[in-house]
Amino acid sequence: MSKIQDTMFAEMQSKKIFKEAQKYGYQYINKSFNRNVYPTKKALKDLNVFDETLPEHNGDSSTIISLLHKYGSPATVSQIGGRYFGFVNGSVVPTGLAAKNLAIFWDQNTAMQVISPISSKLEMVVEKWLVNLFDLPKRTVAGFVSGTSAATFAGLAAARYRILKRLNWDINEDGLFNAPKLRIVTGKQAHSTVLKAISLLGFGKNNIEWVNTDNQGRIIVEDIPELDSKTILILQAGNVNSGSFDNFEKICEIAQQKKAWVHIDGAFGLWAAASKNLKHLTKGINLANSWAVDGHKTLNTPYDSGIVMCEDKEAIVSALHMTGSYIILGEERDGMFYTPEMSRRSRIVELWATIKYLGKSGMDEMILGLHNNAVYFAQEIDKIEGFKVLNNVVFNQILVRCKNDKVTEETIKKIQEDRTCWVGGATWDTKKVIRISVCSWATTKKDIDLSVTAFKNSLNKY
């Protein structure tokens, strides 16, 4: 054996390096819920320590892990705490994090059942759980991807395959050149990842038939153009700014009559279906054809965890087809047929663990808790002179505006510099707004009160 092999075998056997990493991880968790949410200026400056030329020789493992902790940990954004409201980034359920850590040691590739039987089994189990939880058609299959970006890509790829197949065109064999033209219809508030998928799949963003939306970002049903069997209609379960939901039941019934394909972008909002008090927001989602949702947002699984679901198994498998003489088909499930990737880490482990830990009642409690915290946050912000909440808080998103764009942008900057909490900005109805996303199970009323005070102080500083 070579010297480097000897060293690595010794490290595997001693476990010293893993114990050190675990120790640093515990130290990080201990600080995450009370520290500054965004890295300090010093922590950001200290990242320059990583600027170096590629080393000529192998290094010392303990030194490397120590370096990561010393300079990397302070430069993270503490999104697992209770005061990160910038993007729709969830915290992490402890059981899910522990499961991910175990799965890291397994280091499984989930392409085929023969490569990872445990991954195959857990994907089958979670698929059934999700179909039941969202009340989708029993024939629905699921693919476990990195996030909604990939999930939407997969869902629209399945739609493209199915519609062209009906038109006697095999996209896999004949490609897009001279293929029948398909229609893409979606609301003017569609998420940017939807536009990315449309672009990657060759539909062209200039070919989108845009539908007007109301003041909450919902598609205006009466403004939807006449649909047909060549149409892919994309709806939203949770507008990324306002949190609003399209009228799925009414729109999907129209689409079904015209044999149009409906894809629902439910990155964070689809989980409303798991809450008795919020389930009304997702009424009619079972009438769609494909769905995209993230575990790492509302469900608070570790990153990364996205899910594509499709009621047309043949369409999604054919769209994401994989062949090769070396492939060994499993007796049950080979995960590669439901995702764009072949090699893929076993993210199903932490998704399974999180859902099993929470159960239906736990998911209901956590998801409703996010909503209740958002409502409380909005009420407290609205009490402060100089701030105005613009949206109906139907789920977990809040839009806040100051008296004009300049004051709004400067206030966002001051809030971010304060570091008590972290929020981002957006444009809503042509106006600059502060965007608040309540996505962490760890958020308490105390966290919200501290954040509201930071809002007030930041406005006054300006």
Locate the domains of the chain by residue range. 99-355
Indicate yes or no: pTM above 0.85. Answer: yes
Q: How confident is the model at residue 328 (pLDDT cuts 50, 70, 90)?
A: confident
Rounded CA separation 381/375 (Å): 10
The answer on pLDDT for 217 being more than 70 is yes
The architecture in CATH of the region 99-355 reads 3-Layer(aba) Sandwich (3.40)
Across the chain, mean pLDDT equals 96
pLDDT in tens, 140-194: 999 999 999 999 999 999 999 999 999 999 999 999 999 999 999 999 999 999 9
Q: What are phi and psi of 441, to 5 degrees?
A: -65, -25
Q: How confident is the model at residue 462 (pLDDT cuts 50, 70, 90)?
A: low
How many C-beta atoms surround the C-beta of residue 102 within 10 A? 11
What is the per-residue pLDDT for 325? 78
The answer on pLDDT for 120 being more than 80 is yes
Structure tokens at 188: 């003017």
